[in-house]
Each structure stands twice: as C-alpha cells, then as structure tokens.
Amino acid sequence: MEFGPHPLQKGGAALEKTMSLTKLLRGGGADRPIPPVTVQTLLEKKRAGQPITALTAYDYPTAFLVDQAGIDLILVGDSVGMAVLGYESTLPVTMDEMVHHTRAVARGVRRAFLVADMPFGSYHVSAEDAVRNAARLVKEAGAHAVKIEGGRTRAALVQRVVEAEIPVVAHIGLTPQSVHRMSGYQVQGRTTEAVEGLYADAESLQAAGAAAIVLEGIPREVAARITAHTSLPTIGIGAGPDCNGQILVFHDLVNLTFSPPAKFVRRYGDAAALFSNALRRYRDDVISGGFPGDAESYHLPKKVTAELAETGLPAPEPTGSGQPQCILESAAVLAEPAALARLAGD
C-alpha cells in the first residue's frame, strides 16, 4: 500500500518562479540571500533520495553552530527538560520554557528549518489550545513548524493546526510524552499488531497534512517499510539507517548528558572532557596568579601615569601572585582582630 499525497503537498511551480518577490535575508545584512530549508525542501530531498540531517538545539550558541554546519532541520525538543533544565523527563516542560528556548535558537538560525516541540499538556486538552499554543511558537518564538507526538489519535488535531497555516512534524513510535502509558522508554512496533498500528498512524498523519514524520525507537525493518510506503519525509532516531533523515540530541552527540548513551547514539566529540579540562586550567591559573596576566590587562596612558606620579600617591608593587602589594597589605590589616572589631562597630 502506498499512501497518496495530501492535497497540501500537491502544487505547481515554486512561487518565486512565477512572480517577483522581495527576497528575505535570514540574517539581516548578509550580502546575498541564504536559501532556507522549507517543507518543500524536505519533500524534494525525499523524492531525490538525498539524506536529511537534523539535530536538536536549545540556545543561541549551539543553534548557530548547528546551522553553520549545514544541518537541514533544527528541533527545539522538549528534551530540553533533561538535557538543559535537569528534569527527570520531558513531562514538566512548559509552554513558556519552550517559547523561551525556541526564541533563543531562532536568533542563531539562518538556513535550517526550525521545528519546536509542543510540550506535554499544550495540545492535550482541546484543539483550540493546540492551535493557540502552536501559534505562540511560530509568532512569538520564530519557529517554522511544530512537532506533535501521536498517531491516529492526533490526526484530527494535526489537521486543525495545519489548517491554521502552521506546518506540523508528526512523531510516532516511542513517544517520550507517553512514557507512563508505555511503562518506560521501550522499543515499539515489535509485534504484527503493533506494526500494523504504526502503518495506520503514518497513513492518518499523512492524510491530515503533516509535513514530515519522526520515527523513534522502532525496528529498522518497520521504519524502512513505512519510509518506502509514505510520501512523507521520515526522520529516524533509533529507527535504523533506512529513514529519509536522521536526528540526534545535540548533547548526546558531544557527550554532555552525563549518563550512558542509548544504543542508537554515536558520540562524535567529547565536550565534557574539553570543558572540564578548560575549567580546571582556569581554576589553577587564578590560584597560581597566572591569570590574568599583563596581556589580559588594561593600562593607563603614559601621560596619566606621569600625572599620578606627581601627586605623590604610592605606586603598587606587583607581587608573585599578581596582586599589588598595597592590596595585600590592606587585606592583612583588615584580617587583624582589632580591625575587624572596628568594622563591626561601624
């Protein structure tokens, strides 16, 4: 069975080919426009067999680096709860926190397609709440699309959000917001019935107008079949190499999670070791007096130095620790019991 394309995925020539538009510079001041990644870009990549690259980001510096690396899609995931905020799961993350982090990420994005997670509780009460909260992520935070977890049961909701002109990236398989219902983070789709359910989920979400679909924590064979039979671009995480694209959590990629990685994670760097080494070196240099040195210090103009010398003010004598002698002597005086008593009396 091959799912037919949603009406919103059909269409003729790109708009810029049929009419004159003022091209937007995603960076405000760049010499030439940077072609942005869009929903259409993702579809074209799937059709051309070109892999889609995706990563999470939660702040301006990492978003800037991810975007500069040429990653196609940046997800401000509710995984920010565990990766950055120290929560035990994604469930406590609020809409305000998602808006805050998405807004920061948006400032660092020039090319990538920016997707923001709808956190737990932001779309579970009513369709009106879902549309309102999705609009916040686009209007207030600068997202280009939102991500919603769930399959058939969320299809009508996805359609409502899409009809509000907000692209939706769907998410099926292991859905972290359903951790209690699933009795933990377990691989999904391991029985015939479960596989058929995932097929039905993908079909319903495509019919609802989803822009793409994340496949998480499912067997490679199942992900390959869904990818082959849906017109939606599939982005895998723990779903094998046969998806149209792959996504990882930035902090997993560079070893900043401080816990054993999941089976599907490959670490491409060790930022924890890099940061720890730099922090220890800084601490040691401050204690030894090696930082700051003269190269990191500002100096008075020679004229002002000469004028101060004429006033008769004592010139401080540098010590081995890098602290002026007059400061050290003052500290020693203040440490005397009599001086402390005088300060307490004041």
List the beta strands (DSSP E) in the chain. 52-56, 73-76, 113-117, 145-149, 168-173, 212-216, 234-237, 245-248
Catalytic residue of the set 216, 221, 317, 329:
216
CA atoms within 13 A on the CB side of 178: 18
| 279 Rama sector, left if φ>0, alpha if ψ -120 to 50, beta otherwise | alpha
Q: Which residue has the tokens 């540098």?
A: 318
- Interacting residues of 342 by C-beta distance below 8 A, sequence separation 6+: none
**Taking the CB of residue 333, how many other CB atoms lie within 10 A of it?**
10
Give CA 149 to chain center in angstroms: 17
In one-letter notation, the amino acid at residue 187 is V
ω into residue 5 within 30 of 0, thus cis? no
- Interacting residues of 224 by C-beta distance below 8 A, sequence separation 6+: 240, 242, 243
Integer CA distances (angstroms), 239 to 40, 102, 215, 263, 302, in order: 23, 26, 6, 11, 67
Residue 193 known to be catalytic: no
Residues known to be catalytic: 216
